[in-house]
A = this chain, B = another copy of it.
Amino acid sequence: MKHRSAQSSRIFTAVVRQHRIIRPRYRLLTLELDAKGSAAFASVMPGQFVEIDAGPLSLPQDKDIPAELLDSAKRNIMLRRPFSFSAIRHKGNKFEIDISYHVVGPSTVRLTTLVPGDSLNLIGPLGNGFRIDQSRPIAVLIAGGMGAPPIQHLAAHLKSHHPDMRVTAFIGARSLDEIPFDIGTDPDGGIIFPAFSSVGVPHAMTTDDGSFGVKGFVTQLVEKLLVPGPFQTDKAILYACGPEPMLTAVSRLAAKIGVHCQLSMERMMACGIGLCQSCAIKTRDPQAEDGWSYRLCCKDGPVLDGKDVIFD
């Protein structure tokens, strides 16, 4: 008998439950997964992602499209786009996921038109998320820009599944306008991110321009706070997600202070499921003649071990 593979349970429909504007260009979309999707999400990990088909969505009116995206965003969409989750919740016997997104092009501009009740077609969960290293209970979470969603998800995951770990989060953004979370205040009037404080994760914030939090790059802050401290490097690990220059800096910092790190990478993806080879990441490979080979961001990643990634 020849092998017959099962029909995939990972292509499914989700219904929009909430859609909030966080900042002019940042939104929070809450989706309720159908039964098939919920089943597929039973053992999802932070850092995994879904591929969203925004092709069928309508284009907003010109006045509702950021001016600098007017030309680029009107292009037809053919391919799906990858998005990770900032939160995932049980909702009866279904799952609800939060997607925080930044409006940058044709798909994300179309996402802005979604209203509760609308449907989306999704494939997921895809890829490999963060692998929680139980032997390293000092978890330092680092997010840059739109790297924040999986880091937020990871913070909640660690606190609920590994309550004994010591979790701290560092979040960087270019400026106040580009903070993809709600901003709140603690009882003392201090400024906090409910996304992290609600799960009890202490956090600090940097902006490149100093418009909010500490001025500078998030990795500079991490270095300042971590390196001199009483800090058991073999018990610590950095989990990071953000733009490539930030991940490069994290990887250098980790090497310098001698801690492990896991990096959630990004590549332009045509398929997200290993068919097209568009999402290659250069990685160390002792097996390869010249010491390196490509791995696929969508299948082998997006989260890779920091020591494996080669940043040119």
Contacts and interface: CB of A to CB of B under 8 A. Distances in A.
Interface of A: 55-59, 61, 74, 76, 113, 119
Contacts of A56: 58-59, 61, 74
Contact of A76 (B57, B76, B113, B119): B76
Nearest to A55: B59
10 contacts: A55-B59, A56-B58, A56-B59, A56-B61, A56-B74, A57-B58, A58-B58, A58-B113, A61-B119, A76-B76
A118 to B, nearest CB: 8
This chain's copy number in the assembly: 2
Contacts of A58: 56-58, 113
Contacts of A74: 56
**Most chain B beta-carbon contacts within 10 A, residue among A58, A61, A113, A119:** A58
A259 B113 CA distance: 54
A74 B53 CA distance: 13
Contacts of A76: 76
A9 to B, nearest CB: 18
A108 to B, nearest CB: 15
Contacts of A61: 56, 119
Given A56-B59, A57-B58, 8 more contacts: A55-B59, A56-B58, A56-B61, A56-B74, A58-B58, A58-B113, A61-B119, A76-B76
A268 to B, nearest CB: 21
**4 closest A-B pairs (Cβ-Cβ)?**
A58-B58, A56-B59, A76-B76, A57-B58
Nearest to A57: B58
Nearest to A61: B119
Contacts of A57: 58
A61 B13 CA distance: 10
A76 B57 CA distance: 12
Nearest to A113: B58
A45 to B, nearest CB: 30
A57 B59 CA distance: 6
A177 B113 CA distance: 34
Contacts of A119: 61
Contacts of A55: 59
